[in-house]
Chain A
């Protein structure tokens, strides 16, 4: 049996999904968090049922890619749990009526029930149940209130065989139902609502955005540097280094196998960045350089997502984003891209047109460095001075703007207008924030560590057989002539296809000047997506557009790298 969780965007379907199945799903406070569906199973008496968390949709007449997915899923579901935002029946019941017309058994979860009380909304649940002809259960998915009753009522889902209506008849029916079941008492503005209004007004919104972004950036740095300096570096240097050094002398200090496992010793000591063995750089790069940054970035992002600030940032950014051929909502996948480009490119599905998705995905994979790469930039380039880090970020930002303006002129098609629901501000719940942080961190570890370890082995083998030297000599005119990097740097660019953090780490032993590090970081960030991003780009854009995007990336990287080499 297939149970579909369906409802408008941002009504808590994913939170309910986690409650029903125990499967963790990303929950945030903005419409469009779930862009693909998630499956899980739950026990219903004796039976085991499949539960599908369907992307949010306002209507069964799809207006975006995510809504098309929702419609396809509906065709092979058995029961729909229609999740309804109890604080906004006027709009949510439209989808409910559409579902009832489809003749599929429905049970309604009246979610966010806790908010109705302080908003002064009084709903007569029994009357609503009678008017709709299906079970209606008040729930609070984030705390678990009403979930047990909802589960008991899923087998009682019924299809009242509602007659097909036209759009106007349906809205009229929604109006008459809400008039009968809902009573609203007036009340005063809360401080959260005042803050909410301030964040979409021209002057105050700009000040708020600066404050939010600056404090987010500071928090990310503070947490990640704290973790590195006080936890991970001491662990690696004081506990792990002696162990590896013992192993190194046991293996005879040198040799093919030694170089793969331990790497090359620098002045008889283990150098976690430069040694490049499985047990040295292979562990240090992902765990002590990248992980702290990933954790702190996703902690801060999770808090921002759950407060409901991001859609307001989209409103503020809308005018600027229009110049790049996008609208304000594209800022959300772009911010996700600062964590990892893969979910960011998937996230471009919230944009309506193909043109926007192409522009957004191309800009993200060129000019938005992921957390892993940023961690390495902060670590390696930052060691030369903060101004060089600023140069890297500044260049990427300028490229993002200029390339966006160019793509806006060249790419055919149209970009629709911004149209988004702005959710109320909510205080983030620690449980959701930490659960989301854990899922994303675990995702990073599970994906990054095998690839990083594999890359270390491959790099050592290729070095051993002199493959890199051959490539380096072949590409020397471009790498040395155009970019001003030593010819060995091409190996790093090639490895960038596997993982960019390892690739940037490969520049460390080359003793580059600060200027060369800036050029190297920028080119590495822009040149080509890593393999994970490449696969998603291919799937989301198709072969032809992927090739176009790849061409743009390579051309931009070489042009910008060349210019940087000349002017720095």
Chain B
């Protein structure tokens, strides 16, 4: 698989990031309006730009003695991690922006650092509600992270490789979603957690007045919201839905189509399912979901014999 010229890679990542954030914003708006029972006119396509423009013209907030560096760094880190995740996605049989031999390991690292970014965002504001949100996210994050490890290892077993490109190739003729049926639902739970979205939106919930964002406005808020949407997008179709594979259409288009489908599922889950209380999620995660991820791993191991 070929790589990309050094100068072109950041440009392409930026384009993918912008496109992904926009697509996720529109899909979220559309699914939200579907649930709300309000119409979806053509103006919905411009809505993300209008909301972004308003956020940009608003002045960034200041709290008393925040950790300014960390407060600014957290959204940038979150967005950067989403960008790194997108860069790992193989777009065709011969092309990925970052063709890393241990792509799955890099992805696991990204998920771990997402927890750091979200915690820092809540902690550095020096304010109560963001701090409480950061603490409760930490409990959720540490729990779902274990699921991700086992699910990703299971996906790597049939490929006999940690490279995302090889994992896509190994799904020729039989996608992992069929071969490892537990994997995709568990992975989507990780996606909801990493983007702190819907039932797992424990970091930015209304019950804590916006959680880690309770004291944030202006450009930092825009970056944070964009990062959450980008993080949803980066959980693309690589690991379970065959990546670029599919008939008739070119590989990159298949990746886009599958990514949009995943986004629709995640956005719909966000609007249709209530936030899960932290303690209950942690219990469910350790008692039910984690054993299921062991089963997923065992199924993958037996299948590889």
* A and B associate in one complex: no
Q: Which residues of A contact B (CB under 8 A)?
A: none
Q: Which residues of B contact A (CB under 8 A)?
A: none
